[in-house]
């Protein structure tokens, strides 16, 4: 097993879709970590009533439980196979205990990352893609009627995309034919990006669009992909997980199992290169000939005189610039040194916080909002993060950045905030950050996460309202003061020096 440093950034997004006939989300996903490595799963349930919802959740939880209680190093393929068998048994047992759930089942895609290796498995028509070296690779092949027709040459891939039987699958966990296709180990490479998704995404989004979005920050890409599928119909539940390999330091000479990447065709060197070589050779010949000339020859004297004139001119200009350059006072020099000493630790802390929180760029619409409310104050960065405890969804680096756990804030099973409520929270963090001491020091991590008990004071809240009015004057007061909108979160927020703890709102 390779010993290597691997750092991942990941995000996920799920949505019920736009079909009014679908009242529940039958997709289910999970990301888990243990001795076995990092495990990512997406399931798309089926079976009518609440069967699909139950089957997908039960499959994810059963696979996870098996991994956590039965892991033995060195047999990862066997572990995956046995974990899926365990999930199959759990689903069949549930059906036996409740005959109304007869016929329920679920697709499965699974990705296991362990050090510098990865394994994947699938059953059904949910998919795993890998973006590597600018190319998109579909790692899985659908277990479906239309895929069988394509393999047999009966229809083309283009015809399969609109075939009336494209949603009929030939394999699923919970059915008699369920055994997954398992592959691995394969070697990870730095900047690999994996996409796990249900068919609610691939029904509407083309491969070239997937590849384009996989170049974005994981959370931004997930949000964009779900929005694209919904805007084009959203007839099914949509679930996406995106995993970016930020760092993979293991050295490998490659293996036959590596996913192939398109290579450049070999050909003649570019014309510019040939031209450069010819000019260089000509210069060498000219210089060689010039060495053989007598110093008393007119050509040599002229060249020597020209060189001396250019050197003298250059020294004259250099002295003039030096004379014009004002000398710094001792006080100014001291201030510059102090500024550098203060700025450098802050920059180091910012990079460390990014790494700890697995932070990335925010969605463009939120960045535009931040720009508008930052007039007259320090320009702050806005970042989305996925690490850290769920009840600390906001971290604040005064003068530098605001971090929010967008995934938790908009999750219907968590804070369930709307877009304007998240905007109001960001604005509150900006107002709270003003005048605060920058985060520095070797104990920055303790300071960053130290919980607070203070409520948001009236001045800070009023300042936030005023800032948001710059962005949306019409809705600002209602948004901040109405207890059914952002106002309901005011008394749930407890402010630390560099973070907000937010208690979950009571369920209705």
Percent of the chain with pLDDT over 90: 45
pLDDT for 368: 86
Confidence of residue 199 (pLDDT cuts 50, 70, 90): very high
pLDDT level of residue 69 (50, 70, 90 thresholds): very high
Please return the burial class of 4, using the count of CB atoms within 10 Å of its CB with bins 0-12, 13-18 and 19+: middle
Question: What average pLDDT does the segment 385-395 reach?
Answer: 81
| Reported confidence tier of residue 274, pLDDT bands at 50, 70, 90 | low
pLDDT given for residue 194 in this prediction: 98
Number of H helices, E strands in the chain: 16, 17
Written in H, E and C, the secondary structure of 139-191 is: CCCCCEHHHHHHHCCCCCHHHHCCCCCCCCECCCECECCCCCEEEEEEECCCC
Q: Which among 235-239, 250-254, 311-315, 375-379 has the top mean pLDDT?
A: 235-239
Q: Check pLDDT > 50 for residue 14.
A: yes
Count CB-CB contacts under 10 A for residue 228.
18
pLDDT tops 80 at residue 123:
yes
Of the two residues 176 and 241, the one the predictor is more confident about is 241
pLDDT confidence of 506, banded at 50, 70, 90?
low
**pLDDT at residue 505, as a whole number:** 61
Across 310-332, average pLDDT: 52
Cα 218-223-229 angle, rounded to 5 deg: 125
Residue 498 DSSP SS3: coil
Separation of alpha carbons 477 and 268, rounded Å: 67
Question: Domains plus CATH for the chain?
Answer: 6-248 (3.60.40.10), 356-502 (no CATH)
Please state the rounded mean pLDDT for residues 132-142: 94
Over residues 477-505, mean pLDDT: 88
- Say which range, 323-327, 426-430, 460-464, has the weakest mean pLDDT: 323-327
> Mean pLDDT throughout 95-124?
94
Report which listed range, 134-143, 385-394, 451-460, is most confident.
Answer: 134-143
Question: pLDDT band at residue 61, thresholds of 50, 70 and 90?
Answer: very high
For residue 255, what pLDDT is reported?
44
Least confident of 153-162, 276-285, 495-504: 276-285
For 342-363, the pLDDT digits (tens) are 444 555 788 888 888 888 878 8
Average pLDDT (45-54) is 80
391-448 pLDDT, tens digit each: 789 999 988 999 988 888 887 778 888 888 999 999 999 999 887 888 888 888 888 9
State mean pLDDT over 146-164.
84
> How distant, in Å, are the alpha carbons of 209, 286, 406 from that of 507?
38, 86, 20
Q: Where are the alpha helices (DSSP H) in 214-329?
A: 218-231, 271-291, 298-324
3-class secondary-structure state, position 221: helix
Query: What percentage of the chain's residues is helix, strand, coil (to nearest 5)?
Result: 45, 20, 35
Query: In the predicted model, what is the mean pLDDT of the chain?
Result: 82
- pLDDT score of 253: 40
- The DSSP code sequence of 335-351 is HHHHHHHHHHHHHHHHH
pLDDT at res. 275: 60
- Cα distance between residue 164 and residue 53, in whole Å: 24
pLDDT attached to residue 187:
96
DSSP character at residue 293: S
Provide the pLDDT for residue 323.
52
> Residue 293 pLDDT > 80, yes or no?
no
Q: What is the per-residue pLDDT for 130?
A: 97
The whole-number pLDDT of residue 271 equals: 47
pLDDT of residue 51: 85
């Amino acid at each position: 097993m390779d010993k290597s440093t691997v750092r991942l950034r990941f995000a996920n997004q799920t949505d019920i879709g736009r079909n009014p006939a679908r009242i529940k989300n039958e997709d289910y996903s999970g990301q888990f970590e243990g001795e076995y490595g990092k495990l990512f799963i997406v399931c798309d349930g089926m079976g009518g009533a609440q069967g699909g919802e139950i089957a997908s959740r039960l499959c994810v939880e059963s696979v996870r439980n098996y991994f956590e209680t039965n892991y033995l190093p060195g047999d990862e393929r066997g572990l995956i196979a046995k974990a899926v068998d365990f999930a199959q048994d759990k689903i069949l047992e549930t059906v036996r205990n409740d005959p109304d759930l007869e016929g329920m089942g679920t697709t499965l895609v699974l990705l296991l990352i362990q050090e510098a290796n990865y394994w994947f498995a699938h059953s059904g028509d949910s998919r795993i893609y890998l973006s590597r070296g600018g190319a998109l690779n579909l790692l899985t092949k659908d277990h479906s009627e239309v895929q069988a027709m394509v393999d047999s040459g009966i229809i083309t891939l283009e015809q399969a995309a609109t075939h009336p039987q494209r949603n009929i699958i030939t394999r699923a966990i919970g059915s008699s034919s369920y055994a997954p296709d398992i592959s691995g180990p394969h070697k990870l490479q730095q900047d690999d990006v994996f996409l796990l998704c249900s068919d609610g995404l691939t029904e509407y989004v083309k491969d070239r669009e997937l590849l384009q979005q996989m170049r974005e920050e994981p959370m931004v890409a997930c949000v964009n992909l779900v929005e694209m599928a919904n805007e084009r119909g959203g007839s099914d539940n949509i679930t996406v997980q995106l995993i970016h390999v930020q760092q993979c330091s293991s050295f490998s000479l490659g293996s036959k199992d590596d996913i192939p990447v398109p290579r450049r065709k070999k050909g003649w060197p570019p014309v510019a290169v040939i031209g450069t070589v010819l000019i260089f050779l000509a210069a060498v010949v000219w210089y060689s000939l010039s060495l053989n000339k007598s110093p008393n020859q007119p050509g040599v004297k002229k060249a020597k005189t020209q060189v001396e004139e250019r050197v003298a001119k250059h020294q004259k200009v250099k002295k003039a610039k030096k004379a014009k350059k004002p000398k710094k006072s001792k006080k100014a020099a001291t201030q510059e040194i102090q500024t550098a000493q203060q700025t450098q630790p802050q920059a180091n802390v910012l990079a460390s916080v990014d790494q700890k929180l697995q932070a990335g760029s925010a969605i463009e619409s939120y960045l535009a909002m931040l720009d508008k409310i930052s007039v007259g104050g320090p320009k702050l960065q806005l970042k989305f993060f996925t690490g850290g405890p769920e009840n600390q969804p906001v971290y604040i680096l005064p003068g530098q950045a605001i971090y929010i756990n967008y995934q938790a804030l908009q999750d219907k099973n968590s804070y369930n905030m709307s877009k304007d409520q998240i905007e109001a929270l960001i604005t509150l963090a900006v107002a709270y950050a003003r005048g605060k001491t920058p985060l520095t020091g070797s104990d920055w991590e303790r300071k960053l996460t130290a919980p607070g008990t203070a409520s948001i004071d009236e001045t800070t809240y009023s300042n936030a309202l005023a800032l948001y009015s710059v962005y949306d004057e019409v809705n600002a007061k209602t948004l901040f003061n109405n207890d059914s909108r952002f106002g309901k979160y005011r008394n749930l927020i407890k402010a630390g020096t560099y973070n907000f703890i937010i208690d979950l709102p009571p369920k209705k």
